[in-house]
Structure 1
Amino acid sequence: MMFLASLRTRWAGLLGAFVAVALGVALIAAMGLGLASTFSAPEREPVRFAASPVVVMGQKTLTVPVRRGPDTGHVTKLLAHPQPVDIELLRELRRLGPVQLDGAKRDAVGVNAPIEDVREVVREAVGAARAGVRVQVLTGDDRRLADPEPGRDAEALVAVNSFLGTAGGVSAFVSVFVTASTFAFVVALRRREFGLLRMAGATPGQVRRMLLAEALAVGVAASGVGCVLGAWGAPVLARALVDAEIAPEWFGVGGAVWPFHLAFWVGVSVAFTGAWIASRRAGRIGPVEALRDASVDTGVMPWSRRIVGGVLLAVGVGMLGWTVGTDPSALLKRKTYTTQPMILIIALAALTPLLVRPALRAVRLPGAVGLLVRENSAASVRRTAAVAAPVLVTVALAGSLLGSAETVGEARAAEARGRMGAELVVTGDDLGPLGPLEPLGPLGSLRPLGPLGKAGPLEKTGLLEKVGGVDGVAVAASSGSTAVFVREEGTALIRSDARAVSDASAFASVSRLPVVAGDVRDLDDRSIVVNEEWERRRVGERVDVWLGDGRPARLRIVAVLARGTGDSGAYVTAANAGAGARVDRIDVGLREGAAAGAEREVAAGALRARVGGGDGGGGDGGDGGGGDDGDVRVWSAEEWLADTHPATKPQTRLGLMVLLGIALVYTVISLAGTLLMTTSVRGPELRSLRMAGATWGQVRLVIAGEALLAVAVGTALGLAVTLLNLGTLSAGLARLSAPAGVAVPWGMVGVAAGVCAVVGAGVGVAGVMGLRRR
């Protein structure tokens, strides 16, 4: 058959497409196997109450009615602080048998008693309460629900799922791009061949079918090889994710079959689709093309391609502008800044042949070799665009993805620095109860300790007194993490991370919150501080919320914070923190004379000695009178900020590096394939140069110069996409009242461009050396 003979003859030209499809299929298969393993977390053995056959657990979820169109439905959210088991119920359970408590926590208790007896006692207690309070009785493997963070495995798999899904999407995008570009360039190089076939009587349909048959053969063979590589690479990928702390330690790939089916048919479809686009152009080639021998490319941009490229460019720019104008916070999400650049990349790649010649005309290269490089590149627009397009993809992805992550990370870090008014920070896993609450009356009803209208006091652990008694300390403000829930528009239950403070005035003196209205110091047990994202956000307005332990409350807004990068949560008092809330941070403000330099170090040392805390560098704690506070750490503000608000999280950076590595590998494949194809058909042209007096060294300089110039054009277009994306992100940050700098990852962009330049020049020169030996 003719297409088999063509494959034997043209195998070198299709090698790039074969490798690209095989690599894409391997990646999709490996990532599909990984995704299949993320759909369910393994069953874990109970840990916290492993010795108790029965566990009684307080309410851990909040269920609220919402509107579902004309009907009413319910939404359930996990509480920040589970309800404690009622003291009366605990007393009844003790009568059944030994009861296991986890320290001071009473959100769950283990009971060594018959299950039916425990259920009967719980039923009677709940019935007597008549408050609709739910208390769960857990047995067997269900007891793990009472463990700390029972959903941590599922949450860890969400991050793995997101990473693998994004990586698979980028792999598919780049493989489609490279494959389509390769087949399009193959058609451009074979115009005379197709013209001869037409002259010999072949119909346009036969030409198209021959090209599609070649693509189908390449796709099937490459997909088969890719599935084998994917099966080998999936365990390697799983180990790499575990080592990088992206996946939990137990993560591994299973024996699912569907990823291989998906990867195989995606590979075949990618090859076939890429060739189908090119085959339509091949079918339009007429017999007269067999007589043409022009060195200048003409008709490289049909109007259909111009229209598609222009529409995509308008859509990409329009989406960026619309997002900035309507929802700038969306620009900070990884899903947004990962997908939006792809539209602009496709648009500029489609328009590259139109942009190449004007860009090259603006370049001035010295000497005769330089002039020849520029004119050859401008005359052979298809060849230059075929080299520049994959470079555009890599540089644009490197600049946009890594630049967006670093810009958002640095904005968040700068925002945190701007809000820090303390000189020292004391942290620990458990610095004591924040909002001490006691059960009162019916099961599950709670009331705050302390006078109404005043922030609930920190329980007498002595830690706050120790901090406040250190020489040089002017103010110490304790706070802890909690959450509040609000129903917006009657259709959604929104969880807002919040911070509960023991003394609003003290906290205001050691923080610089971005207040746009009201005063944080007015915060009391009847009020709340919200941010601009809330539906209700006017000072003096009342808002119905559910607290971290599920209690409903109607609170008055006393201050509104700027939206910022999303870290501006709500603020409540300790009394509204919720049962079980704990202090996790004490911000310490020093007196003016001890706030800087050596005096601050002296105060920090005295504080460590007083509370038994290690330094912020990760010490295990001192023994200077800390007693049970051995896990306490004392940080300088700078150390704490660096530890909790890094510019870019290591896992995020590593994940992006993997994506960029995938794109770079594809680019190298595309560059190598394109330059080998072009050099192999440029024999007559290069021999003409030799006949004109050029040495082989000068010929190699011309080929290398053309490759480097095309790489430079692709780099410039990639930087244009990068700057447009990062500029839009900066505008969005400015609208959010957040630090609006731009972090261009010049190092990574330089590495990507440098690798492309080395590969382009090296492969081009190697091709010339091959021609010389003929």
Structure 2
Amino acid sequence: MRLAVRTLRYRKSGFIATFVAVVFGTAIVLACGGLMETGIRSNVPPERLAAAPLVVTGKMSHLRPGAEDATPLTEQVGVSAALVDKIRAFDGVTDVIGDLTFPAPVLKQTGAGAGSASPVPGGQGHAWDSARLAPYHLQSGIAPRSGEVVLDSATARSLGAQVGKPVSLLAQGEQKTFTVSGIADGPAGHTFFATDDATRLANRPGQYAALGVLVAPGTDLKGLRKQIEKADGGVSALTGIDRGLVEHLEAVQKKTTLIAVAGSFGGIAAMTMMFVVASTLALSAQQRAREFALLRSIGTTPGQVRRMILGEAMMVSLPAVVVGVLPGLLLGRWLFDQLGANGVASSDVTFYQGLIPFAAGAGAAVLAAVGAALIAGRRSAKIRPVEALAEASLERKWFSWVRLVFGVLFLGGGLALAIVTATVMTGPLAGATAGPAVLCWAIGVALLGPAATKAVLFLLRWPLYAVSRVNGRLAILNVTARSVAMSAAVMPVMLAVGIATANIYMQTTQVDAAAKAFTKDLRADAVLVSTASGLASSLLPQVQALPGVASASAYVTSLGVIDEPRNAPFDEEGAPLQGLTAQGPDGTAPVRLTSGSLEDLTGSTVALPDRVASKIDRGVGSSIKMTLGDGASVDLRVVATFAAERGYESLVLPADLLAAHTTDRMAQQILVRFAPGASLGPELAKLAAGTPGVQVADRDALIAGNGEDLQTQAWVNYLLVGMLIAYTAVSVINTLASATVRRRREFGLQRLTGSTRGQVLRMLTTEGVLVALAGITLGTLVALTSLMPFSAAVSNSVLPSGPIWIYLIIIGIAFALSLLSTLVPATTVLKSRPAEAAARAD
């Protein structure tokens, strides 16, 4: 250890390179750990239900018959009103208050004309009885009676509302006027109605959105929870901070997504850190071959050499971990804010980054450094003393048998996953195997890096020979002879190019394939879109009555589960559902019928994609059993089948049936098809202008809305891939800069034999180009081995979709990093006198 401490100061470049790699690696893994802890906790402080020690809500998942994993329910799951009396009878319960929650945004007047009012986003309506659950306290006025409302004080101030004055709201999608009976202090964004008004507007007969349970002091909440859940197996009783999830359903729905994003990216980041630190330490060990040879020749044992290398790694990694904590905390907070702003995570969730993420980040960084140090110094520690000095001047063997075996295994795993992707997976599910395939290919190539580098450089040197002069040829010979050492610089470039290209083009290919699958049979020319709570049911007949409208249909989307038959081809995420109005063959439905008719799509009916119908052996006239997004079980009669792109199938239900089982219980869009030669832009715009919260958009808005989840996933990939590129850039800079600085003596000898500074720089430029080309070539091959099977699975082409400029930017960054990391330190090194540089030891 003393020797390690004393020698570190003479190897500042290697020390700094490893230190920087561990700092950045710690920061990234710590940030991902914070995201995962936040997702696992999903803590949302209760506000409107804070006064209820226990809140009862419907279970947000459904276990299909015969399934192992539950399917998440994406809509608000109600609680039966009959459960109120049962809970009241339990010991310790003093009262049970049913909560009705429905969209009721207030309208803010923006002009003098009709339709000039705009909805304030996010407003919810409730019965005044549930005001006790916050609690709300009347600041002025009285409790509401029929036709009256109580506003929260913040909303009242923003509107300038006063007791006794009218206020307009959107209720069931229609503008309605109520009288302000009172103003209450409490959480903002909530309007309270009389019980009869709230029951009518909530449109949830026999159900509540949740129940607030008030208990006597000293009541055993844990025991009460068990009693309630035993009384009704379809509910969950929540206490503590979990009560806030009832107020923010999106936090529950996005919990899994946040955990998946943090876990997958954290795993990739940890793997990348391992290779980055390993490549840095491997290069350092290769450059110190002479030092290790001398140590072994004077009697140092292999164990002493390993302990010295391990001690150096610990002395570098431990301070680096401490330094990496602060940027890790800042990065985690910034990432969470970005994910929340872009709809991946709920911004209402409290961000956590405690001791567990710190331990994970610190442990991963230290283990990566220690493991890399042991691997990097393994051969130096095992070499025989007699061979040590001779070995120091020769090119090392490019692999060990352990490395070869694991490299082949990972390549075999990548090949197996690629075959599964191309032959078994379909649509969005293909990413489940294509993503891990990228990692397997990248790890396999990295383990066999020296051999892969040798092969690529062998192919690249011939065209460069043809265009290179003396210094260029010298660079080619130099890099070819030092291919084992150069592989430490090539592998980070390969990782950056391979992972970035594969992940980005997987997203662009999937978004393009989903858009084509959706638009293939889309016949709508325009769409009316709700910007607030939903569209009133009276709006559809008004659109259908416009001259020139060939067809108009309400459009609703959700997720559900086919319970019977049990062999439906959908995974645990559920089946995509579309709600449409019954229509003839010239309607707006984005489907191509193969049997039956959508004119019969009324009541409890469904239209099935051909592959789904064939898989579950159901045709027109048969029936299926489903659980919809709010947990309701329905028996549906099949009235039609239609063609659909494999992997992008969705079930079609009547719009009014599906809307009744969504959170807002209203359609969010109306599809409009024009008669031949008709142009309805002005008429639709006039209708929308007179209806608050409604806008007219073209079919592109419908396409964008259909692929919104994929676009969000794409944005996440762009963000995370950008971070990985930045981190691997650190490795490229570390490796090439360190290698260049260590060649000071070589450059001095070249200049003493007649080479000018410019000739040396031109030689190094050629070397940088070769390193970049080798890394780009290997990275592109890694990406293509996963992208081609993935593209074949999600589309009709083996070539990925997406703009070429993305790839050009990636390889441009790789070239810039390789050249700058070589030339900038070389320029500094070449400022010293040739004789002084040549006299310095390696």
TM-score, shorter chain, exceeding 0.5: yes
- Match of residue 587, structure 2, among 486, 509, 518: 509
Which residue pairs with 1:586 in the alignment? 670
* 2:736 counterpart of 1:675: yes
What is the letter of the counterpart of residue 693 of structure 2?
A: D
* Structure 2 SS opposite 1:690: helix
Q: Alpha-carbon deviation of 1:672?
A: 2.5
Matched, 1:529 2:635: no
Secondary structure of residue in 2 paired with 1:9: coil
Partner of 2:281: 183
Match among 393, 402, 406 for residue 508 of structure 2: 406
CA distance in 2, matches of 1:214, 1:142: 47
| Alignment correspondent of 1:702 | 763
Structure-2 separation of matches of 1:141 and 1:308? 47
Counterpart in the other structure of 2:381: 283
CA deviation digits over 1:387-444, x for unaligned, max 9? Answer: 11100000111101111111111111222221311212223256667xxxxxxxxxxx
Match for residue 297 of structure 2? Answer: 199
Deviations 1:29-83 (A, max 9, x none): 2333343333132223228xx9x999999978787784589xxx99995666748
Instruction: Name the SS of the counterpart of 2:397 in structure 1.
Output: coil
Q: Match of 1:573?
A: 654
1:634 and 2:710 are equivalent in the alignment: no
1:303: Cα distance to partner? 4.0
Counterpart CA distance in 2 for 1:111 and 1:384 is 64
| 1:544 and 2:625 aligned | yes
Answer yes or no: is 1:31 the counterpart of 2:115.
Answer: no
Q: Match for residue 12 of structure 1?
A: 13
The TM-score with structure 2 as length reference comes to 0.73
Query: Which residue does the alignment assign to 1:43?
Result: 45
| Cα pair 1:219 1:267 within 8 Å, conserved | yes
- Measure the CA separation in 2 of the matches of 1:745 and 1:247: 28
User: Does structure 1 residue 687 correspond to structure 2 residue 748?
Assistant: yes
| 8 Å Cα contact 1:412/1:647 also seen in 2 | no
Structure 1 residues 6 and 133, CA gap change in structure 2 (3 angstroms):
closer
Match of 1:555 in 2: 637
Could you tell me whether the CA contact under 8 Å between 1:58 and 1:85 is conserved in 2? no
Change (3 A) 1:771 1:289: farther
Q: How does 1:129-208 map to 2 (within 5 A)?
A: 150-208=248-306
Deviations 1:116-172 (A, max 9, x none): 9xxxxxxxxxxxxxx99989999999997875xx42223344443333333322221
Query: Residue 320 of structure 1: CA displacement?
Result: 1.5
User: CA distance change for structure 1 residues 249 and 82 in 2, over 3 Å: closer, same or farther?
Assistant: closer
Instruction: Kindly report which structure 2 residues correspond to 1:64-463, keeping only aligned pairs within 5 A, or say none.
Output: 66=65, 77=73, 82=78, 99=195, 101-102=197-198, 104-107=201-204, 150-243=248-341, 246-251=344-349, 253-254=351-352, 256-292=354-390, 297=395, 299-329=397-427, 331-333=429-431, 336-363=433-460, 364-365=463-464, 366=467, 367-428=469-530, 461=538, 463=539
Separation of aligned partners in 2, 1:252 and 1:140: 14
Aligned partner of 2:760: which letter?
Answer: V
2: distance between equivalents of 1:687 and 1:114? 82
Judged with a 3 Å threshold, the aligned counterparts in structure 2 of structure 1 residues 357 and 468 are, in CA distance, closer, same or farther, namely: same
- Residue range with higher mean Cα deviation, 335-344 or 167-176: 335-344
Q: 1:716 aligns with which of 777, 786, 811?
A: 777
Q: Hey, what's the Cα distance between the residues in 2 that align with 1:358 and 1:111? A: 65
Between 1:352-361 and 1:192-201, the stretch displaced more is 352-361
What is the alpha-carbon distance in structure 1 between the residues aligned to residue 624 and residue 704 of structure 2? 35
In structure 2, the residue matched to 1:619 is none
Change (3 A) 1:488 1:210: farther
SS in 2 for 1:421: coil
Distance verdict in 2 for CA 1:389–1:517, change over 3 Å:
farther
Give me the CA root mean square deviation.
4.2
> Which ranges in structure 2 are unaligned for 5 or more consecutive residues?
86-96, 101-126, 130-144, 146-193, 216-230, 837-842
Determine the C-alpha separation between the residues in 2 that align with 1:282 and 1:113: 69
Per-residue deviation at 1:521? 5.4
CA–CA separation in structure 1 for the residues paired with 2:211 and 2:338: 43
* 2:576 maps to which of 497, 502, 505: 497
Q: What is the CA–CA distance in structure 2 between the aligned matches of 1:756 and 1:418, rounded to whole Å?
A: 38
- Taking the aligned partners of 1:336 and 1:234, their CA distance within structure 2 comes to 28
Shift of 1:380: 0.7
- Structure 2 residue aligned with 1:486, among 544, 559, 562? 562
How far did residue 212 of structure 1 move? 1.6
Q: By how many angstroms is 1:758 displaced?
A: 2.6
Paired positions, count = 693
SS in 2 for 1:505: coil
Alignment of 1:603-618 (within 5 A): 603-609=680-686, 612-613=687-688
- Report SS of the residue matched to 1:555: strand
Note the C-alpha offset of 1:645: 3.3
Call closer, same or farther: CA 1:605–1:178 in 2, change over 3 Å. Answer: same
Per-residue CA distance 1:696-746 (angstroms, 9 max, x = gap):
100011112202210111011111111222111111114xxx687612564
User: Matches of 1:394 and 1:718 in 2, distance apart?
Assistant: 7
CA deviations 1:431-472 (Å, max 9, x no partner) are 667xxxxxxxxxxxxxxxxxxxxxxxxx6x2x2332122222
Q: Is structure 2 residue 707 aligned with structure 1 residue 645?
A: yes
Question: TM-score when scaled to structure 1?
Answer: 0.78
3-state SS of paired residue (1:104):
helix
1:768 aligns with 2:826: yes
2:579 is aligned with what amino acid?
A: A
Structure 2 CA distance for partners of 1:584 and 1:83, relative to 1, 3 Å? farther
SS where residue 320 of structure 2 aligns? helix
Structure 1, gaps ≥5 residues long: 117-130, 434-458, 595-599, 614-621, 624-628
Quote the Cα distance in structure 2 between the aligned partners of 1:64 and 1:291.
67
Mapped contact 1:394–1:663 kept (Cα < 8 A)? yes
How far is 1:559 from its partner?
A: 1.1
